[in-house]
Amino acid sequence: MTSKYLVPRSKTLNQLKQVHSYLLKTLTKPHDQYHYYAQFLIRLLQLPGDNLSYARQVFDQIPKCKTQFLWTSLIRNHVLHAHFRQSILLYAKMHRLGVLTSGFTFSSVLNACARVPSLLEAVICGYTKIGLMDDAQRLFDSMAERNVISWSAMVAGYANCGNMKAAKEFYDRMTEKNSVTWVAMIAGYGKCGEVREAKKVFDEISEPDASCWAAMTVCYVQNGYAKAAIEMYKVMREENVRISEVAMVGAISACTQLGDVEMAAILAKHVDEGCCDRTNYVSNALTHMHSKCGYLDLAWREFGRIKNKDVISYSSMITAFADHGKSQEALDMFLKMRNEGIEPNQVTFIGVLSACSHGGLVEDGCKQFELMTRVFGIKPLTEHLTCMVDLLGRSGQLEKAYNLIMDYKDFCDAGTWGALLGACKVHVNAELGEIAARHLLELEPEKTGNSALLAHIYASMGKWKDSEIVKMMISETEKKKSPGCSWISS
């Protein structure tokens, strides 16, 4: 008699265990094992009593089970036997594996959550953190009583997803708000570029805590309001608000944007005085700030203070060397980083390729670009391509630079074509210069500088007629521009 008939005819747990022993000896093909273990599990769950420990052992022998019915049956039985937390954990695992749920699955989960209210809040928070807002909404709607935790989770979830309309609806309905809610709204508006709305939320808080101040500072920085971020930091200091690492990095980033040397020294002094923890997050930002303010030695000193250097630490220092014309030092740092077993990212390679471009290291640049795309599988950004086109263009390899652009045409912007046009001017290549200029005219029709470069190329080759035609085009474009005006009173 085959196992196909043995499983359904088993009436007791002992009989099923005998069948299980038989299956282990006779089933060798993975497909057969999957089929019969599934059949076995269904029968086991139908038996009276709590056999869930045994059921889980059998279930775990089914590799990457995708059968919705099995998952739902197991979850339902956990709920029936009051194993509520385990049922929730199974449901979460089901989601991670991408198994579609059904109304029956969700009904069992809701039943478990209703028995343990804190579990329901935890599940809602979990859903909102990974962006499963439909599931979070369904759980939220099923709650008989809601508190500030569940409300805040929904606000934060929608804000993180960029759905500020939904976040605002929940926010307005809340009778009690806390810092989690306020930070979520400020950060959400910041990501969407709605700085005024973020400031409106901040101004409504009677006593904002350190996290609210930090969120508003970061909101300013993200949207280019560097001076406002610095002013926010100064007010925090005046009002003795605790400076968190988030607030400090926000202020440092703002200072970096402004290139404010004086403020950079003040911020570095505050960190030295211990106003916040000197975490990797803070030190990496300081390294970048010192470099952008022109102090490579201070950047190097800060980098040396970092005990557990990560990819951001190394990328910041590589970029610092590249920006200061220390091409070989940048490449040596990259080699050290790889020897430490730290995998580079897109930002790392921007620094590396920039170093090669500044140093005219054509062979190294080509090798690093190939390493990035083929070994690490990183898709090039416009910054990578612009560096490569600039590097190849400076060395006179215009055809190679043009071919690279054609290979990654969808990733190229005005900066990339501008690098090619500039190289065409230096090496007097009207044919490619004209192609580059035409692409630039499509991307930046209002900028006449590109056309002026093309006119210069034509003139340097003695193509006076072509040069005059381009100059006439420039003249026509200038006439179409609105006349300038001054708001300075005479």
| Residue 462 binned pLDDT confidence (cut-offs 50, 70, 90) | confident
Percent helix, strand and coil across the chain, each to the nearest 5? 75, 0, 25
pLDDT of residue 488: 40
Which pLDDT score, from 0 to 100, does residue 25 have?
66
Q: 392 with 407: CB under 8 angstroms?
A: no
| pTM of the predicted protein model | 0.70
| Predicted local confidence at residue 26, as pLDDT | 67
Residue length, the chain? 490
Q: Which residue has the higher pLDDT, 453 or 362?
A: 362
pLDDT at 482: 45
Encode pLDDT of 173-194 as tens digits: 988 889 989 999 999 999 999 9
Quick one: average pLDDT of 420-424?
88
Would you state the pLDDT for residue 490? 33
* The predicted structure's pLDDT at residue 182: 94
Q: How far is CA 435 from the centre of its chain?
A: 35
Highest mean pLDDT among 113-117, 215-219, 441-445, 466-470: 215-219
Please choose, from the candidates 331, 284, 288, the residue with its C-alpha nearest in 3D space to the C-alpha of residue 311. 284
Q: Predicted confidence band at 81 (pLDDT cuts at 50, 70, 90)?
A: confident
d(CA 56, CA 36): 15
d(CA 359, CA 356): 5
Residue 33: predicted pLDDT: 57
Predicted confidence (pLDDT) per residue in 13-71, tens digit: 677 677 667 666 666 565 555 566 666 677 766 677 676 777 777 777 776 677 777 77
- 1, amino acid identity: M
Of 219-233, 249-263, 341-355, 443-457, least confident by mean pLDDT is 443-457
Top-confidence residue, 451 or 360: 360
236 is written with which tokens?
């925090």
Weakest mean pLDDT among 379-388, 395-404, 409-418:
409-418
pLDDT tens column, 290-329: 999 999 999 999 999 998 999 999 999 999 999 999 999 9
Exposed, middle or buried: residue 118 (CB in 10 Å: 0-12, 13-18, 19+)? exposed
For residues 377 and 149, the model is more confident at 377
- pLDDT value of residue 119: 62
Q: Which whole number is the average pLDDT over 357-370?
A: 95
16 burial type by CB count under 10 A (0-12 exposed, 13-18 middle, 19+ buried): buried
Mean pLDDT of the chain: 83
